[in-house]
Chain A
Amino acid sequence: MSLAPSNSSNPVALALRDVTKRFHGAAGEVTALENITLDVHEGEFLAIVGPSGCGKSTLLSLLAGLEHTNEGTIELDHEAVHAPGRDRLVMFQQDALFPWLNVLENVLFGLRLKPGLSDAERVESARYYLNLVGLGNKEKSRPHELSGGMRQRVALARSLAPNPRVLLMDEPFSALDAITREQLYSDIQEIFTKRQKTIILVTHNIREAVCLGDRVALFSPHPGRVQRVFDIQLPRPRRMNDPALATLAAEVTAELSIHLSQPS
């Protein structure tokens, strides 16, 4: 057991300043995010939690460079983010594994696009991450032959293999059953402690956020705003049924219901 590292002394990796994002949908203009200001430190696990529609996926798309801000800036290591890049990989809610590739080839997809590696190094690295997520024996399988939990593990390996600066996760566990999820929580925490990655996880599950995050940013909807940021000072590895965790989760839930009960 190790104490949760205090990452706030680390340098800032991702800096968001007054980020606003609007969409022009069929029902007119929607402000998905308004004035989001957040710092994510090197090696920090930030969990963003909020009800659905509060702009969590939009925020990740902006960080990934798949969408552009209307106002405000996003910087990674003091450089503006404006396009997708290998330094920010995304793990999506549904596994976006390619059905025409087997497990190993899927993990190799990002590695093959990374310059400066030999093919042997790429395969070695892919195998390393497949072993890390416990699927070393499945490299020849096709995605459709795996369970939902295994597919998400492959997706995790695929996102980790090119060694991104920041790992972005968009509700990666929400389609999984509770037992598989619990297993993945401990896997993620182990990988996080081992690799000291900077991770941003988006979820609508408050307990999950408290279980995984060094900090939990609570978002409120319409428009999406940061309502409050909680520091989670629990030792890792954390377990979902830990009473201390439940207490903290209740605190976050209370804060959320304050907002939801206010007439808007």
Chain B
Amino acid sequence: MKLPRPVIPTLVALAFFGGWEWLVSSGRVNDVLVPAPSQILQWFLEALKSGELLSATWVTMRRLIIGFAIGVSLGVPLGALSAQVRWIRDTIGVLALGLQTLPSVCWVPLALLWFGIREEAVLFVVVMGTIWAVVIAVQEAVLNVPPLFLRAAQTMGSNGWHLWSHVIFPAALPGVISGMKQGWAFAWRSLMAAEIFVVIVTGFGLGSLLNAGRELLRMDQVMGVMAVVMLVGLLADLIFFAPIERWLRRSRGLAR
């Protein structure tokens, strides 16, 4: 007999959460340290009802999306320029390589000093998280456009901006998308770190909500926010990146 594929994962999840619930409710595990799934769920419903969770999610998403958009719209042309112009590649390209390895939460002290405890400081951190991964990905993607495409297009009369918009960018698109995905992941992580460690008066995001839970010793809130953060990350991938990648794979037959 062959079980449908979802059966085993469902059973494992049920056993896991059931066991967890039992360990806590029977008092074997202190619920101050580890709240039961039901307690987390209860916090989740309450926070949803009070609007607290939605407003925090909105604040965080807004920062992420604006910061990501700025990072991408600066990073794409910069990466393209860096691929095209040797001395820019040798300067900004190399700088990007270094800065990409720097967790962007390291920018927080400077950002606070430069922008004050304001929205701009958070955005700066998010932009720094996004931009370098995008620059490097775009640069590599453009440099890896098969020369054959360029030669073919040039003999057909394409050059300058037409060559960029009709050949180089479409050819580099898969690489650019995976760079954006990486930039998104970096931005998401750095934003969480910034929100948790810095009290930003201009908005109460998910990170702040998690930190508030810590201060109140409410681990149900902490773990609830963790679950939401995970969910948002998954949803972003599901709604934004996965369809684009699927479309690329289908239309170009890219093997993965």
Q: Using a CB–CB distance below 8 Å, which chain A residues touch chain B?
A: 61, 64-66, 84-86, 88-90, 92, 94, 96, 98-101, 109-110, 113-114, 142-145, 158, 162
Kindly state whether residue B253 has any CB partner on chain A within 8 Å.
Answer: yes
Q: How far does the Cβ of B96 sit from chain A's closest Cβ, in whole Å? A: 26
Contact residue among B157, B162, B167, B253 (Cβ-Cβ distance under 8 Å from A98): B167
What is the total of A-B residue contacts with beta carbons within 8 Å?
65
Residues of chain A within 8 A of B47, CB atoms compared = none
Alpha-carbon separation in the docked complex, A125 to B210 (Å): 64
Contact residue among A84, A92, A143, A145 (Cβ-Cβ distance under 8 Å from B157): A84
Kindly state whether residue B170 has any CB partner on chain A within 8 Å.
Answer: yes
Q: Given A86-B157, A100-B173, A144 and B253 touching (CB < 8 A)?
A: yes
Contact residue among B148, B151, B162, B253 (Cβ-Cβ distance under 8 Å from A113): B162
Q: Does A98 lie within 8 Å of B251, measured CB to CB?
A: no
Residues of chain B within 8 A of A64, CB atoms compared = 151, 155
Residues of chain A within 8 A of B162, CB atoms compared = 113
Kindly state whether residue B256 has any CB partner on chain A within 8 Å.
Answer: no
Q: How far does the Cβ of A129 sit from chain B's closest Cβ, in whole Å? A: 14
Q: Does B149 lie within 8 Å of A114, measured CB to CB?
A: no
Which of B156, B166, B253 has the most A CB atoms < 10 Å from its CB?
Answer: B156
Contact residue among A113, A142, A145 (Cβ-Cβ distance under 8 Å from B156): A113
Q: How far does the Cβ of B78 sit from chain A's closest Cβ, in whole Å? A: 23
Q: How far does the Cβ of A78 sit from chain B's closest Cβ, in whole Å? A: 21
Residues of chain B within 8 A of A162, CB atoms compared = 156-157
- Closest B residue to A86 by CB, please name it: B157
Q: How far does the Cβ of B64 sit from chain A's closest Cβ, in whole Å? A: 29
Alpha-carbon separation in the docked complex, A187 to B148 (Å): 24
Residues of chain A within 8 A of B167, CB atoms compared = 98
Alpha-carbon separation in the docked complex, A63 to B16 (Å): 70
* A and B contact pairs by CB, cutoff 8 A, 9 listed: A64-B151, A84-B154, A85-B155, A92-B151, A101-B170, A109-B158, A142-B253, A143-B253, A145-B253
Q: Does B252 lie within 8 Å of A144, measured CB to CB?
A: yes
Q: Given A100-B252, A145-B253, A66 and B170 touching (CB < 8 A)?
A: no
Alpha-carbon separation in the docked complex, A89 to B154 (Å): 9
Q: Does B253 lie within 8 Å of A66, measured CB to CB?
A: no
Q: Does B151 lie within 8 Å of A90, measured CB to CB?
A: yes
Interface residues of B, count at CB 8 A: 21
Residues of chain A within 8 A of B173, CB atoms compared = 100
Q: Does B157 lie within 8 Å of A96, measured CB to CB?
A: no
Which A-B residue pairs are the 7 nearest by beta carbons? A144-B253, A110-B156, A96-B152, A113-B157, A100-B170, A99-B252, A84-B154
Q: Using a CB–CB distance below 8 Å, which chain B residues touch chain A?
A: 146, 148-149, 151-159, 162, 166-167, 170-171, 173, 251-253
Q: Does A94 lie within 8 Å of B155, measured CB to CB?
A: no
Which of A61, A65, A66, A94 has the most B CB atoms < 10 Å from its CB?
Answer: A66
Q: Does A66 lie within 8 Å of B155, measured CB to CB?
A: yes
- Closest A residue to B158 by CB, please name it: A113
Q: How far does the Cβ of B172 sit from chain A's closest Cβ, in whole Å? A: 10
Residues of chain A within 8 A of B152, CB atoms compared = 90, 92, 96
Q: Does A85 lie within 8 Å of B157, measured CB to CB?
A: yes
- Closest B residue to A61 by CB, please name it: B151
Q: Given A92-B148, A94-B148, A113-B162, A100 and B251 touching (CB < 8 A)?
A: yes
Residues of chain B within 8 A of A61, CB atoms compared = 151
Residues of chain A within 8 A of B155, CB atoms compared = 64-66, 84-86, 88-90
Alpha-carbon separation in the docked complex, A88 to B154 (Å): 11
Residues of chain A within 8 A of B154, CB atoms compared = 66, 84
Residues of chain B within 8 A of A145, CB atoms compared = 253
Residues of chain B within 8 A of A66, CB atoms compared = 151, 154-155
Alpha-carbon separation in the docked complex, A101 to B171 (Å): 10
Which of A100, A101, A110, A113 has the most B CB atoms < 10 Å from its CB?
Answer: A100
Alpha-carbon separation in the docked complex, A143 to B148 (Å): 15
Residues of chain A within 8 A of B253, CB atoms compared = 99, 142-145
Q: Does A96 lie within 8 Å of B170, measured CB to CB?
A: no
Q: How far does the Cβ of A166 sit from chain B's closest Cβ, in whole Å? A: 11
Alpha-carbon separation in the docked complex, A109 to B252 (Å): 17
Residues of chain A within 8 A of B252, CB atoms compared = 99-100, 142, 144
Alpha-carbon separation in the docked complex, A92 to B253 (Å): 21
Residues of chain B within 8 A of A144, CB atoms compared = 252-253
- Closest A residue to B170 by CB, please name it: A100
Residues of chain A within 8 A of B171, CB atoms compared = 98, 100
Q: Does A109 lie within 8 Å of B153, measured CB to CB?
A: yes
Residues of chain B within 8 A of A92, CB atoms compared = 148, 151-152
Q: Does B158 lie within 8 Å of A96, measured CB to CB?
A: no
Residues of chain B within 8 A of A89, CB atoms compared = 155-156
Residues of chain B within 8 A of A100, CB atoms compared = 170-171, 173, 251-252
